[in-house]
Amino acid sequence: TATVAVSLDIEKAFDTTWFEGLILKLRNFGYPRTLCSIAYQFLKDRTFQVRVHDKLSETFRVSAGVPQGSKLGPKLYNIYTVDAPAPPDGKVKRLCYADDLLIYTHSRIASTASRRLNSYLARLGEYFTKWKIKINANKIVAIALAMRHPLKYPEDLDLRFGNERIPIQDSMKYLGVHFTPKMNFVKHVSETRKKVIGQSKYLHNALRHSNLLSPQIKTLCYKQLLRPIIAYAFPIYSCMSSSQMEKLRILERKTLRRCINYERRLDGTHHPVKYLYEQANTPRLDDFLISIGLRYLDRIRDTENQLVRNSCLLNPQLVERLRIKPPQYLENFRDIDDDVIPLYNRGFRDPAYRVYL
């Protein structure tokens, strides 16, 4: 069964929240009048000015929006959009994180998927118009995910929002992760590498000159500034192939060599890669990613949020039904660090972790 997904882009979501509509919803939801009054005082009579060098503009009044960077801002926006119409049945599903909205449905026939999604998109359009929420029609994209069974009659996939036709693209970015029809995350790994290389250019001079910073400081820069870019959303794209993981490992090795001024060959002798990591005092990238991934699952098990605990990651029935195999790069391990071996073995023995691995 194929999955057809549509990503909606809310234009300037936090900056265009309707003040009066938000206060009305607070009252309709039964919040105390004192709390509604606090929210109103927090939002009303906000002003701003623009300074360019020594010139200061006149004062402008903020007529809409919740303050970004404040603690109340995201909560007020969630209250403002919490009553968005839910899908009419279980055949269409919705994912929403702040102003990032994704709807999807499962079907093997394109016309069926189009009918379901268009019906729900029409309801969302009416809701957005009523509450003055503007959707950027130029940034709405759709994708057909079909790992095993392709979508039948793809030419019949006609999705529309209002009067605009939604383009079907080969990739979709949602919450920083790039999805493609085959779900192999080649696109995501490629974009991650580009981002790391782009960020490392800002550190080029500091990493290149050996007398500017000590090797320990350079390595710390890699761990704090570059490695988190790779580790972001790893539980999602952990099923990548061994070739994709090797691309990330090569990128890490190049960066570490610059950090500690380490050459592959010294005095005509080739030094194994493990000596590089020993000198840098840094765990290998795939070892590090496995560790944080399994710790992530430990936190899921210990959470008090029942919705998270009931997620598919911890569903043994789903594991047995899908019979998911571990990624190639885990099967091809030859030199796992001793600290990671217990985590690695536990991942294959515990059915709940097998979905992740």
Per-residue model confidence (pLDDT) at position 123: 92
Does 321 have pLDDT greater than 60? no
Per-residue model confidence (pLDDT) at position 318: 45
What does the alpha-carbon distance between residue 77 and residue 124 come to, in Å, rounded to a whole number?
17
Per-residue model confidence (pLDDT) at position 248: 92
What does the alpha-carbon distance between residue 164 and residue 8 come to, in Å, rounded to a whole number?
13
Percentage of the chain exceeding pLDDT 70: 82
> Among 5-14, 25-34, 299-308, 310-319, which stretch is predicted with the lowest mean pLDDT?
310-319
pLDDT tens readout for residues 273-312: 888 888 888 888 888 888 887 787 777 777 787 777 766 5
pLDDT tens readout for residues 137-183: 888 999 988 766 677 767 778 898 888 888 888 899 998 999 988 88
Does 320 have pLDDT greater than 50? no
> Among 196-210, 262-276, 338-352, which stretch is predicted with the lowest mean pLDDT?
338-352
pLDDT tens readout for residues 73-90: 888 888 888 888 988 888
Does 195 have pLDDT greater than 90? yes
Please compute the mean of the pLDDT values over residues 227-255 and round it to a whole number.
Answer: 88
Per-residue model confidence (pLDDT) at position 210: 62
Per-residue model confidence (pLDDT) at position 76: 87
What does the alpha-carbon distance between residue 347 and residue 326 come to, in Å, rounded to a whole number?
9
Does 261 have pLDDT greater than 50? yes
Residue 63: both structure tokens together: 């007529």
Per-residue model confidence (pLDDT) at position 192: 94
- Residue ranges of domains in the chain, CATH in brackets: 2-12+86-179 (3.30.70), 19-82 (no CATH), 186-289 (no CATH)
Per-residue model confidence (pLDDT) at position 356: 37
Per-residue model confidence (pLDDT) at position 312: 52
Question: To the nearest whole number, what is the mean pLDDT of the chain?
Answer: 80
Q: How confident is the model at residue 103 (pLDDT cuts 50, 70, 90)?
A: very high
Q: How confident is the model at residue 349 (pLDDT cuts 50, 70, 90)?
A: very low
